[in-house]
Amino acid sequence: MTTHIHHDNTQSQSTDVSLSATCTPESSSAENLDYHQTHDKTPILKVRNLTKRYPVKTSVFSRKKSYVHALEHVSFDVHKGETFAIVGESGCGKSTTGKCILRLSDPTSGTVELNGCDFTALKGNALIEARKSMKLIFQDPYSSLNPRMTVADIIAEPIDIAHSYASREERERMIEDVMEHVGLDLSYKNRYPHEFSGGQRQRIGIARAIILLPKLIICDEPVSALDVSVQAKVINLLKELQKKLGLAYIFISHDLSVVKHISDTVMVMYLGHTMERGSKNDLFSRPLHPYTQALLDVIPRIAHERIQDKRILQGDVPSPVNPPSGCVFHTRCPLAQSVCAQKEPDLVEIEPGHVCACHVVQQRFAKSLEQAHQKLCAS
């Protein structure tokens, strides 16, 4: 098996002149591909106050518009070599976050910076060029592959669009190299998607995503459609590729057992809002938000537990067209107080690197937060 993926970095002559050097993929020399990754202190991705609202008509004759509040002021950083997981129930805004980052759906407001370049401000050829640095692995391995294309042509789609090779021989070499990296036999090149299992199809999708050596890959429920035994193999492949290529992942999932296995940092979302964010160890061992605690209680455990100790959420998720006032979770929260319906909680750092948007939690830690504030003011 070859050790490195090589490709030509020649940029298209039509690239927009406003595209800064920080928006283009870095050189993929052999020296910088295989290494034990340590997270860089400087984030490669900065998301700030990302908001997405979809207009909807209330009736045929009404001039008044309502909005689906899909995302509300979501902010986070992703570092090189990090797996940043986004979790929550269906409709919480996980996939919308990924789409807005990739500009598959333009955000209503907020910014997305990739290596210091404002991705939300790019247009035309500049946007196309910058997208080489971010790729997507789709949820459904059955519908995400064109049934009329061979495996080789599917994998080569990104380099065909970007014209990232000088000859047909180089194209073939790039395809074969990436197939070896994801564990696909080279004899599969001229076969079609229907001839493969779900796990093999997802490997084809992963090969397509990494062939241009992106800095960041958004994995949108990449294993939810697969059998449990196959899930483990795909997750291990993603971790192996991350180690070899220095990839950063945004891993979107509703399955917390999978997230616990692959993530470094976890963000919990509910109805388009960030409820809690912290390291995997902090969030799974010391969850702060009542919603996070309820999600973790769903994970099956072998240890003896009393059923009454589990937090079972009552009611349904409110409509994103008419979200609750104050804290959007207060209608289902077992700890809700009067202030929760009146005022939206700020996202406050309760412990180093561990933030939470909950009035009750902030009251519980009020003394330590005040001491931290005084220490900061004195320094």
Assess whether pLDDT exceeds 80 at residue 22. Answer: no
The tokens describing 74, both together, are: 């979501």
In a domain, 301, yes or no: no
Computed over every residue of the chain, the mean pLDDT equals 86
Residue type, 339: V
Measured distance CA(328)–CA(89) in Å, rounded? 14
Measured distance CA(354)–CA(282) in Å, rounded? 7
> Could you read off the pLDDT of 181-224 as tens digits, one per residue?
999 999 999 999 999 999 999 999 999 999 999 999 999 999 99
In a domain, 325, yes or no: no
Using pLDDT thresholds of 50, 70 and 90, give the confidence band for residue 366.
confident
> Could you read off the pLDDT of 231-264 as tens digits, one per residue?
999 999 999 999 999 999 999 999 999 999 999 9
Measured distance CA(237)–CA(136) in Å, rounded? 16
Measured distance CA(327)–CA(315) in Å, rounded? 16
In a domain, 106, yes or no: yes
In a domain, 51, yes or no: yes
In a domain, 140, yes or no: yes
In a domain, 159, yes or no: yes
Pick from 146, 118, 135, 93: which is nearest to 317 by CA?
93
Stated pTM of the model: 0.84
Range of the domain at 47: 21-271
In a domain, 47, yes or no: yes
Q: How many domains does the chain contain in total?
A: 1
Other CB atoms within 10 A of residue 241 CB: 20
Q: What CATH code is carried by the domain that includes residue 29?
A: 3.40.50.300
> Could you read off the pLDDT of 48-65 as tens digits, one per residue?
999 999 998 766 666 777
In a domain, 280, yes or no: no
**What is the pLDDT, as a whole number, of residue 40?**
61
Residue type, 334: P
